[in-house]
Structure 1
Amino acid sequence: MAATLLSTALRGSKIQITVIESPDIETIGVGESTVPSIMDFVQACQINLKEFVQATSASFKLGIRFDDWLTPGESYFHPFGRVGKDINGFDFYQAWLKSLADGQETRWVDHSPSAIMAEHERFMLRPHHSQNWVLSSYAHALHLDAVQVARYLRSLCHQRGVIRTEATVNNVIVDEKAFIRSLELDNGSTVNSDFFIDCTGFTGLLIEKSLQVGYQDWSDYLPCNRAVTVQTASVGHPVPYTIATAREAGWSWKIPLQHRTGNGYVFSSRFCSDEKALDTLVNSVSGPMLNEPRIIPFVTGKRKKIWHNNCLALGLAGGFLEPLESTAIHLVYKTLVHFIKHFPDRDFDADTEQAFNQKIDADYEEIRDFIILHYCTAGRGDSEFWRWCQTMPVPESLSEKIRWFRLRGQLEHTPGQFFTRDSWCSILEGMNIRPQKYHPLLDAFDRQSLASTLNQNVQNIRSTVMKMPGHHEYIREHCPANSATEK
């Protein structure tokens, strides 16, 4: 991803990009669910979307369905895109609360085009410059085969002049100013460079083992520290959403691609053994297993500095927040966007580095709080793990946000934040958390007029969605996976 985006952004600058890729170090490659910013990445890299979807066996994703988080047997949906339309300058959520108080019974998700599309398994790419507010309000991401994505981007980078060296780094040479000078490889060569991007995963070979920036451990806030993963053959057509199901000691994911399904169980070793987690996952999947299950340990948190001197830590080398909201690839992209905006010259000005780190730190903390929200508001108390979550420690930034929401449904949103008010409201509504009051000025709204507006909007969403093709039919007609890719 770094080489592809930078080779696009730096085109014409005469800056040479070299990728050092070890044939001896296995790629984790289990994160296959994304958020809508993946579409920004595809566009920024000038990638043909149809070609990309076909080469990566992708399916489309309109949001996440959360099963059994409130109580076993109940589900709720976190949709992408807008939910409703603001009315007379007031946030739609406030207008919806007012309608409930007036006796209306529409669901929150009835006002989300993405949610209704997912519910009926419908899909089409959003048309450009549509005058229909329904067609301009939904958003989507992709379910991807991570290994195929890497293969596709590698080929693209080669076409764009990126040098690829297949070797393992044996030694990192650091100068007296704590800047990386060069890398010694196992093929006997040495690579000198002005800047280095550390993509060595949890190891953090450059940023941690060589520059020793330190790590902020967020395990106290996020209890899960292991995952077991397995791929299975597809059973039925892929649905246009990810499924996250609460389990006894964590949660499991189901990610449907065109050619197979990705499955995993994220759990806490404090409340569950590896053997029990493996049994839970194997007993919950559908279709034959295509590989041996893998156990992946992790520590949630981030490096104390993502950019230090002439080194940028990317992906797992920079930090890890469990995949509950599929934000890992988003954080890679966002880190690169911030880096391009703060791109250094040879002076490596410390203020530029500090400004970058403040931006990406805020992104990590925002996503951390949003993930914690799912645990601390979950209604389950039927296992030791979920009872722990009922009294778990919560960052002050999150507890204040929840407090204000409970009071009157207001959520502060800072420009640049990824998760919108609609996303926060979707999780809180899904967990049956409602404000005590709505905004008092909503009482000036005419009751019948408000009800009519909301009902008309719901009808517009449903009538527009039902004209769309099915998700599977859309893929089959426009972007089926390449036969070589499927194999």
Structure 2
Amino acid sequence: MNKPIKKVVIVGGGTAGWMSAALLKKVMGSVVDIELIESEEIGRIGVGEATIPPIRYFNQALGIDEAEFLRETKASIKLAIKFENWRVPGEGYFHTFGGAGKNIGFCAFHHFWLRAKTLGDKSSLWDYDLNYLCAASNKFAPINSKDPALEMQYAFHFDASLYANFLRKFSENIGVIRTEGLIERVTVHPDSGAVDHLILKNGRVVHGDLFVDCSGMRALLIQQTLGTGYEDWSHWLPCDRAIAVPSERLAATLPYTRSIAHSAGWQWRIPLQHRNGNGIVYSSNHYSQDEAAAILLNNLDSKALAEPNFISFKTGRRLKQWNKNVIAVGLSSGFLEPLESTSIHLIQSAIVRLIKLFPHAGIDAVNVAEYNRQSKTEFEQVRDFIILHYHVNERTDSQFWRDLRNMEIPESLTHKINLFRATGKIFREQDDLFLESSWLQVMLGQGIVPRDYHALADNLSEPDLMSLLANMKKIKQSPLEQIPSHDEFLRQVCAR
């Protein structure tokens, strides 16, 4: 266990495997050798087609040209998620990657808006959000401005299989060794219990010092070999099944994901350049597989292009995401439903964390403990944000929603909800993936109305307050006329 790490073996391809291979080789290629083992016989789940803005930094770290990426992965731009029917049927709201207005001194903008509401102002918080204004107008182009009020964060929708293929080509070009083959046996060291080598079906033996388990829900190394254990969160997040199906592209490519709640789950609609990604996440205690499939297929916006793909899962996380000399990345490390498009980001953060804590002279228990501490915190914070959507609802149409509204939730989430409801204040936890603006939009969208606002919002006279809001709205709307449609932007970029 204390020997220097000279070779990293990645088990499994797909998005997790090739993201891991690409970044490890790009950053550490002169320090360690990277070999990836995958088999064409093993299919990919490939439902993680929506992302969040940090994916852009991942691509930039690899030196990937964004236009080439958009072309090769049939990607579209993502500015937001639209949540429909989550608070009550027939109502919707946006969770954008932007933010409303601009903070003033020590006071967040929404407190000024909250005060204006008490004075009779009828504006929506989203009227001051450039991401929302562009999403609602089906427009997009990067904005070059030094004014932070005009900053527009964005991510992508892309075909996960095409992205994996794109990264495979990239990785092999920079020296990652790809080995085709099925793993027949995993051999552990008799003294340390760590993974020693892999034996492939064709008889080849693959040795490594550090193993990255990207074998998906099979968790070949982290669970089947090392028996690491799993923390089950299905008492908070009871959905345990998903069905995915592609459909024909629509005439207009929306720059946002749609998340549409049903009586015992929710449906996603993800627009790509060549098709739509669709799926339903549901509770098998409330829907049969046939019922869920019928809901999905009857609610497609366009003709299905393939037979549905059925997926079972248990929400939760591996008790250790680094155990001995194995690091679990992707679905082998745990599963959080793709409600907030975090699946691909959790792959990215896991591999960045490994690079930051990469063992040099050998694997040290303190290093491993820190990796696991950070991973646990990240998973729990994302978990709380997802629970928020389910728990704070006013739906009365099914037992599923009534049970979620009345369930006990983690204390960390209870505190955040109660603080916002009483004071309008939000404080981001250290390293929380989601910014204050994200928590704000979802809590407001789910119907939590603060009883108070920050005292600093009273610094302005009523005329000055209304002038502030009018000017901010004007600033946010100012670029709209010059921004092309989303499809026109994609045509321009992909033609380069």
Q: Which residue of 2 aligns with 1:200?
A: 215
Shift of 1:82: 2.6
Contact 2:79/2:132 (<8 A) preserved = yes
Structure 1 position 443, deviation (Å): 2.0
Corresponding letter in the other structure for 1:466: E
Q: 1:447 to 1:88 in 2, by over 3 A?
A: farther
> 5 Å matches for 1:137-286?
137-175=151-189, 176-286=191-301
Quote the offset at 1:125 in angstroms: 2.1
Which of 377, 381, 399 pairs up with 1:362?
377
Question: How many Å separate the matches in 2 of 1:140 and 1:379?
Answer: 30
- TM-score, normalised to structure 2's length? 0.94
**Per-residue deviation, residues 210-232 of structure 1 (Å, max 9, x unmatched):** 11111000000101000111000
Which residue of structure 2 lines up, in the alignment, with residue 10 of structure 1? 28
1:338-368 deviation digits (Å, cap 9, x = unpaired): 1111111242111111111111111100000
2:42 is matched with 25
Q: Match for 2:349: what amino acid?
A: K
Q: How far apart are residue 380 of structure 1 and its match?
A: 1.2
Maintained 8 Å contact 1:122/1:466 = no
**In 2, Cα distance between equivalents of 1:43 and 1:436:** 43
Percent same amino acid at aligned positions? Answer: 40
- Measured in 2, the distance between the counterparts of 1:393 and 1:275 equals 31
Q: Residue in 2 aligned with 1:40?
A: 57
Is 1:372 aligned to 2:372, yes or no? no
Partners of 1:134 and 1:464 within 8 A in 2: no
Q: Quick check: 2:187–2:198 contact (8 Å CA) kept in 1?
A: yes
Q: Counterpart in 1 of 2:6? A: none
| Large movers: runs of 4+ above 6 Å | none
**Cα distance in 2 for residues equivalent to 1:324 and 1:441:** 35
1:50 aligns with 2:67: yes
Matched position secondary structure for 1:197 = strand
- Asked if the contact 2:149/2:476 (under 8 Å) is kept, the reply is yes
Could you tell me which of 95, 106, 111 is aligned with 1:78? 95
Moved more, 66-75 or 370-379: 66-75
Look up the match of 2:480. 465
Matches within 5 A, 1:81-480: 81-127=98-144, 130-135=145-150, 137-175=151-189, 176-479=191-494
Distance 2:423 2:412 in 1: 18
Contact 1:66 1:243 in 2 (8 A): yes
Deviates further, 427-436 or 440-449: 440-449
Distance 2:218 2:396 in 1: 36
With normalisation by structure 1, the TM-score equals: 0.96
Q: Kindly state the Cα deviation for residue 58 of structure 1 after the two structures are TM-superposed.
A: 0.2
SS at match of 2:487: helix
In 1, Cα distance between the equivalents of 2:495 and 2:247? 19
Q: CA deviation digits over 1:153-193, x for unaligned, max 9?
A: 00001100000000011111111212111111111100001
Match of 1:484 in 2: none
* Alpha-carbon separation, structure 1, partners of 2:229 and 2:281: 25
Tell me, yes or no, if the aligned pair for 1:381 and 1:390 is still in contact at 8 Å.
no
Match of 2:81? Answer: 64
| CA shift for structure 1 position 372 | 0.3
The code of the aligned residue for 2:476 comes to I
CA-CA distance at 1:33 after TM superposition: 0.6
Q: What is the number of residues matched between the two proteins?
A: 477
Contact 2:393 2:447 (C-alpha < 8 Å) held by counterparts: no
Q: Cα distance, 1:376 vs. partner?
A: 0.4
Q: Deviations over 1:30-60 (max 9, x none)?
A: 1101111111111111111110110000000
**TM-aligned CA deviation for residue 480 of structure 1:** 5.6
Cα separation, 2, equivalents of 1:341 and 1:448? 51
Cα RMSD after superposing both structures: 1.3
Shift of 1:446: 2.1
Q: Is this contact kept in 2: 1:112–1:138, CA < 8 A?
A: no
3-state SS, counterpart of residue 208 of structure 1 = helix
Q: Any unmatched runs of 5+ in structure 1?
A: 482-487
User: Is the contact between residue 121 and residue 471 of structure 1 (CA under 8 Å) also seen in structure 2?
Assistant: yes
